[in-house]
Structure 1
């Protein structure tokens, strides 16, 4: 077997493992990915999150196909039809360039973390995408329809097998690619963002808790929302609290009795003895992603997105009168 054939065989094997959900590192220690699902105390060590962090699935849509992707990094996908959108044909977009067949795109840092992958000094991970089902000469849909395949492949730097889109090919794909970035959760305390010891405070996510992405094919879209929030107010080694959705911002008159579903917590000690004089709190939010294909909504994926927050907690100072 030649060196090139061995390299391709190794790449296919690694890609198959990645597609099966095996976390891989290229000649480097395995990384802890952003959004690693925390273990909830008392649940027997089970994972708070379920399944893989990244899900990719291709759907046929009558005269085309959509390959949908959901991960802690983003949700969206690629939809392709042979006929034109907005009166512009595929041939006009491509100009003198050929229809893209298979091409590669490097994973960005957030995508690497979400997939629990690491680039090395000698190699890197790439999205490897292939488009089938459009006649490259006539740009007509072939009888078996359009098929899109997406995988994660490792390539050595400068590998001659790497293929990148031309400017016109990228314009062609950009007409059908839609993504929405999943925001990092932002932990806030209410009603007082700088709580005192023994005060009842309600934690909530200050960032967006819903998102929606419409894809290029009619009737195809994705939506996502936060369904649950887990907070470690004093860091991973301390107690945890959970609440439905993104939590609830409390007003000054609210109590655990008036807002029973909020993420209530009361610090029993100040943060003055902590490094930096604050607690390194953690927030983990569970996102549920749905996809609408051919007019019908279905659950597509679920993942966890995480963040940290610096929460200073002050001692209650007695008011001294002269």
Structure 2
């Protein structure tokens, strides 16, 4: 039998982790507690490799040899205070489950170009989609200040309605994700909703104030005097389609939305006197 010091050294070498716990840890554990016995109990764990690095991420050996076989390498952005390593390469997340919360998932890690793992266009597309930053919405209306009961309100967006694209790449493969606005749904605060196919048409000074917007508007039938703050809370929601293309492939992601909010004060209208005194 090994003496106590040799047994502990061998046990820690087999466990491959100085921080492993005795139970519930994929790396196993070592129990060399002080006691009368000179032996150490070794918990072999589940056989997973350490989660803080990859020996050779470019290889894909059999599952029994490498638990990283089923992991995916996702390009990511990362700012290392020490700077990027000198050799060409890129930062990757290693995800070994759909949510990346399993013990093997880790990163960001720097992988040199020569060791860059195989990344599918679909995986690159997901990275490009995550980089999309959709614009904030800015709501406009006419009348500019107080809306009037029975008088058409024009609705439009002054910003937040334009195509956005982002790309992701690894050596030899580049993919672009593109988000395009398709419609905007207005919740008018009085129980009504209005869906418009575009951002709406701005009201032009000098146009007939009693005319309705050609493509996006609403007419209030009740004042907002009884509402909190004496105003209707209005929400505009833009719906986006997101597609990707690259490496001779393409696809569609689930849609995305952006929202903007505003308060509309609506007062009782007064009769318009169009006659001459």
Task: Give the alignment's TM-score, normalised by structure 2.
Answer: 0.51
Does the aligned pair in 2 maintain the 1:280–1:308 contact within 8 Å?
A: yes
Match for residue 146 of structure 2 among 182, 194, 197:
194
Alpha-carbon spacing, 1:286–1:140, altered in 2? closer, same or farther (3 Å): same
The answer to whether residue 162 in structure 2 is matched with residue 210 in structure 1 is yes
The match for 2:59 is none
Q: Distance in 2 between matches of 1:197 and 1:294?
A: 55
Alignment partner, residue 24 of structure 1: none
The answer to whether the 8 Å contact 2:149/2:269 transfers is yes
The equivalent position to 1:181 in structure 2, one of 133, 136, 142, is 133
Contact 1:91 1:139 in 2 (8 A): no
Given the alignment, which residue of 103, 114, 135 partners 1:140? 114
Aligned to 1:299: 252
Alpha-carbon offset, residue 276 of structure 1: 0.6
C-alpha change, 1:225 and 1:99, in structure 2 (3 Å) is closer
C-alpha displacement of 1:281:
1.4
| Structure 1 position 298, deviation (Å) | 3.8
Alignment deviations for residues 23-79 of structure 1 (CA, whole Å, 9 cap, x no partner): xxxxxxxxxxxxxxxxxxxxxxxxxxxxxxxxxxxxxxxxxx995xxxxxxxxx749
Separation of aligned partners in 2, 1:305 and 1:247: 16
Separation in 2, partners of 1:316, 1:101: 60
Is 1:279 aligned with 2:227?
no
What SS is found at the alignment partner of 1:249?
coil
Task: For residue 279 of structure 1, report the CA deviation from its aligned partner.
Answer: 0.5
| Separation in structure 1 between the aligned mates of residue 189 and residue 86 of structure 2, nearest angstrom | 58
Q: Deviations over 1:172-219 (max 9, x none)?
A: x9xx99823223433322353532221112222233212323425375
**Gap change, CA 1:285 and 1:293, over 3 Å in 2:** same
Say which structure, 1 or 2, has more relative contact order (CA 8 Å, 6+ apart). Answer: 1
Cα distance change of structure 1 residues 99 and 214 upon mapping to structure 2, 3 Å threshold:
closer
Residue 241 of structure 1 and its aligned partner are, at CA, apart by 1.3
In structure 1, what is the equivalent of residue 86 of structure 2? Answer: 92
- Give the alignment partner of residue 245 of structure 1, picking from 180, 191, 198: 198
CA distance in 1, matches of 2:76, 2:208: 46
- Secondary structure of the 2:233 match is strand
* In structure 1, C-alpha distance between the alignment counterparts of 2:107 and 2:179, rounded to whole Å: 27
Structure 1 residues 145 and 100, CA gap change in structure 2 (3 angstroms): closer
Gaps of 5+ in 1: 6-64, 68-76, 80-89, 104-114, 116-124, 151-172
SS in 1 for 2:86: helix
* Structure-1 separation of matches of 2:119 and 2:257: 32
Q: Distance in 2 between matches of 1:295 and 1:283?
A: 36
Q: Residues 73 and 92 of structure 2 are in contact (CA less than 8 Å); yes or no, is this contact kept in structure 1?
A: no
State the Cα distance separating 1:2 from its structure 2 match: 2.4
Which deviations, in whole Å up to 9, do the C-alpha atoms of 1:243-283 show, x marking residues without a partner?
A: 112333233526898854x2221111222222111111122
Larger Rg: 2
Structure 2 regions of 5+ residues with no counterpart?
A: 1-21, 27-71, 78-83
May I ask how many residue pairs the two structures share in their alignment?
191
**Coordinate RMSD, CA, aligned:** 4.9
- 2:10 matched to 1:2? no
